[in-house]
């Protein structure tokens, strides 16, 4: 997976802030999907770090936290050398999301009405 290429495709925070919320939602969803697709193209499951951050990014979408979702995507793309020291990327925990679970959650987030906190 070319992490840098995926990061380069993400809008800057300033560019993202200038988008209307419906556009922000689409950009966030597409960013999440592109990372899931990139992992899938490598014929593997996300490691513990990627799975956790992608799950958080998907969870942010139906809550209307699109910038947060993009920030979590950036965290998912962090190179293993920059991640939390001592974290074993091959360690598997019970219940971390698989690609299939992430795809299903993203599909549900795309279809969900945005929760309004106002």
Within-domain flag for 116: no
Within-domain flag for 40: yes
Within-domain flag for 81: yes
Percent of residues, the chain, with pLDDT higher than 70:
86
Rounded CA separation 19/37 (Å): 24
| pTM (2 d.p.) | 0.87
Within-domain flag for 54: yes
Within-domain flag for 34: yes
- pLDDT tens track for 18-67: 999 999 999 999 999 999 999 999 999 998 899 999 999 999 999 999 99
Q: What is the pLDDT of residue 87?
A: 62
Domain range enclosing 101: 3-111
| Chain centroid to CA 26 | 13
Within-domain flag for 59: yes
Within-domain flag for 71: yes
Q: Are 56 and 72 in contact (CB under 8 A)?
A: yes
Domain count, the chain: 1
């Amino acid at each position: 997976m070319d992490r840098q290429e995926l990061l380069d495709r993400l809008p800057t925070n300033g560019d993202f802030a200038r988008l209307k919320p419906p556009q922000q939602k689409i950009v966030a969803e597409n960013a999440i999907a592109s990372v899931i697709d990139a992992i899938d193209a490598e014929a593997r499951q996300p490691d513990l770090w990627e799975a956790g951050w992608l799950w958080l990014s998907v969870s942010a979408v139906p809550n209307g936290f699109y910038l947060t979702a993009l920030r979590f995507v950036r965290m998912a793309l962090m190179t293993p050398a920059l991640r939390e020291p001592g974290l074993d990327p091959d360690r598997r925990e019970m219940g971390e999301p698989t690609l299939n679970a992430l795809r299903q959650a993203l599909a549900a987030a795309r279809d969900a009405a945005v929760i309004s906190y106002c």
